[in-house]
Amino acid sequence: MPPRSTASLPWLWIALVVLAGTLYLFGLGSAYAPTNGDEMVYIHIARMTAESGHWLPLQSEIIDTRNTKPPLLFWQAMVVGNWGQSWSLFTLRLPSVVYTFATTALLAFFAHRMSGRMRTACIAAALYLLFFSTFRYGRAYLTSAPETFWLALPMWWVLWLRVRSSPSGVCAAECSAPCPPPAVRAPPLPAQNTLPHTLRANELDWLVFTLMGIAMGLGSAYKSFALVAPAAAAIWCAWLASAPRLTWPLVIRATVGLAWSTALAIAIFALWFVLDPDPASVWQEFVLAENAGKMSNTQGYWHAALFGAYPMWTQLLAYPVNAGLLFFTVLGLGWAAFRVAFQRQTYAQLSPAARVLLAWLVVWLVVFTIPSQRSERYLIPAMPAIAIAMALAWDRIAKVWFWITLAVMVPALVMLARIAWVMGDLQIASGPQFAMTLVATCAGLTWAGAGFLINRWSKTATLVVVLAVYASFGLMVLPLGTDTAGYSAAVQARMKGQRLAVPNGFTGQFERFHFVLPGARITPYDAEGRNTGAFKPELPPAERLDFLLDQFDAVVWLQDSLDQTQPSCLPRCTLLGSRWHVKSRHKTGEVALQNLWHPNEWLFRREWLLARSSAP
């Protein structure tokens, strides 16, 4: 086969993947990057453990969180953060981005191997990077990126076994249309006796089972031993479902081999109990409270499963929900699959590689429908399979799903532009900063218009517009993370060693102030509706501020209302500095249709750093 000409490469798709990857690094150290509330809890545990000077036991000042996750995530932070000497959000998050890029490279490779087309590989990579579950959880300091990488490695090996004996460009019912000529289609499935010797030998290789166990063990050491169950079950089903011929010897080999892999994975996780000087706390806080508690419910299992807060049917939408802005396009994939799912010849026409993807998706969905507490986040390790499946079926997904997505993105871009405009009016953003956001939103709107008007561009435009939404958001919050937007170096130096009270509206969120005012001795107090009884939240705001100033050297205080122009304690206190605060949690009625166009009324507040007048 002659070498591919560079002129035939899908440069637009390659550029889209590069831009999406660049966006993962842009604003990585920002406190306003899309993340999850657990991130600050994990950073707190990692920082406290690093300060202790020991790998174990894990340390935390937050009640019932010390053993909320296995130690590998925290050890990762301690290593890259040089035991607290290089402690920054960018440094702590960077390993997650590396894991995400590695997963993206692997799924792009297999998408190319299965389709024989660079365009399909780029589509799969772009889809995965643009899924909101990847953008939110795959670049923050969370467990999702490493667990997805390690737990997927055995599945990639099974997939490799199924595609390497077939020519590049396998085309079955699941692939894009039109099909390539017969020369590059998947060959007929061989009979059991004609199965290539290398494939059969690899299936019997105990080294492979051992490596699978190590990979699953490392994945579970990031989050939970419970992940070994869906990972092993998915490998077992994928292995057997994609086999040329299902026989009892094959079933026994797969079962025994994966039993060894599972035992090894659990043994690797169990090292936590061996190494930790307080294994009883690990058992009580992690195994019983964090894991077993998710299988029990006071309402009764079936009542909770059908009518509770986490009903089973919601898990059916887990994959579209994880896709986020691409929700409707994943629904389109599901609809395309549903239309042929009950046809007799559909399964017979699936290539072995496609059966691996199907087993990957179905097993993870079924397993995580069982616990009483269900969440779409539990299915994030299966999102690479969704990306590949969508890329292979890209031309078969109806355009209406992309038009719906574009219709949703247009008001989102307009709202981002409006918020940026208000930030300019409030002098939060400079003229050039506002202009950059406006350029990104206008580019997104232009592509959205092209997607509606030019039929052949609708699908490509959808991904570009989603990228524009992410870029617009990153540019919009960029002014909030600059040095000039925070406290001055003189104020930071003054706060070192001082007892500082900071607002805490959600578990562990006070930890962010260790990046804002490093070296301060920080104590959280309830704020923004949180009420755990910490430091008299029942007091009126003015009285509570006076109380906190009496208890601490300094206090970070949030503006009580829009009409408040200065802290209530002045002139009895000293205003050391101020910055803008973005509200992330709102009470019912705070955001309504009447004030949606005026984000200055519900999104921004002032944050004041105050000290007692007698403070040195």
Q: Which fold has domain 486-584+592-612?
A: D-Maltodextrin-Binding Protein; domain 2 (3.40.190)
pLDDT at 185: 40
Query: Six-digit token pair at 333?
Result: 């994939």
C-alpha closest to that of 93 among 75, 80, 83: 80
pLDDT at 297: 60
Q: Is the pLDDT of residue 553 over 50?
A: yes
Exposure string of 360-380, with b = 16+ CB inside 10 Å and e = fewer, is: bbbbbbebbbebbebebbbbb
pLDDT at 201: 41
Residue 544 region by backbone torsions, left for phi larger than 0, else alpha for psi between -120 and 50, else beta: alpha
Give 169's DSSP letter.
S
Residue 132 · residue 325 · CB < 8 Å:
yes
C-alpha to C-alpha distance for 341 and 364, rounded to whole angstroms: 19
Specify the range with the lowest mean pLDDT, choosing from 83-87, 308-312, 588-592: 308-312
pLDDT at 485: 85
Mean pLDDT, to the nearest integer, of 555-575?
A: 91
The single-letter code of the amino acid at 492 is Q
Specify the range with the lowest mean pLDDT, choosing from 110-114, 352-356, 367-371, 550-554: 367-371
More reliable by pLDDT, 468 or 562: 468
Q: Provide the 10 A C-beta neighbour count for residue 330.
A: 26
Using pLDDT thresholds of 50, 70 and 90, give the confidence band for residue 27: very high
C-alpha to C-alpha distance for 501 and 225, rounded to whole angstroms: 38
H/E element holding 610? strand 604-612
| C-alpha torsion angle, residues 203, 204, 207, 213 (rounded to 10) | 70
pLDDT at 95: 98
Mean pLDDT, to the nearest integer, of 100-105?
A: 98
The single-letter code of the amino acid at 107 is L
Residue 70 region by backbone torsions, left for phi larger than 0, else alpha for psi between -120 and 50, else beta: beta
Residue 556 · residue 503 · CB < 8 Å:
yes
Exposure string of 67-98, with b = 16+ CB inside 10 Å and e = fewer, is: bbbbbbbbbbbbebbebbeebebebbbbbbbe
- The domains of the chain are located at 7-181+196-396, 399-481, 486-584+592-612
N-term to C-term CA, the chain: 78
pLDDT at 199: 44
Q: Provide the 10 A C-beta neighbour count for residue 167.
A: 15
pLDDT at 9: 77
Q: Provide the 10 A C-beta neighbour count for residue 442.
A: 14
Q: Is the pLDDT of residue 40 over 80?
A: yes
C-alpha to C-alpha distance for 323 and 383, rounded to whole angstroms: 8
Residue 187 · residue 137 · CB < 8 Å:
no
Tell me the per-residue pLDDT of 279-337, one tens digit each, with 9 for 90 and over.
999 999 999 888 876 665 666 666 666 666 677 888 889 999 999 999 999 999 999 99
Helices (H), 164-278: 197-203, 206-222, 228-241, 248-275
Mean pLDDT, to the nearest integer, of 108-135?
A: 97
Q: Is the pLDDT of residue 130 over 70?
A: yes
Give 396's DSSP letter.
G
Q: Is the pLDDT of residue 49 over 70?
A: yes
Q: Provide the 10 A C-beta neighbour count for residue 274.
A: 8
- What are residue 501's phi and psi, to 5 degrees? -95, 130
Tell me the per-residue pLDDT of 449-481, one tens digit each, with 9 for 90 and over.
999 999 999 999 999 999 999 999 999 999 998
pLDDT at 394: 96
- The residue length of the chain stands at 616
pLDDT at 68: 92
C-alpha closest to that of 114 among 296, 335, 357: 357
Check the CA dihedral 585-587-589-594 and report its sign: negative
| pLDDT above 70 as % of the chain | 89
C-alpha to C-alpha distance for 261 and 283, rounded to whole angstroms: 23
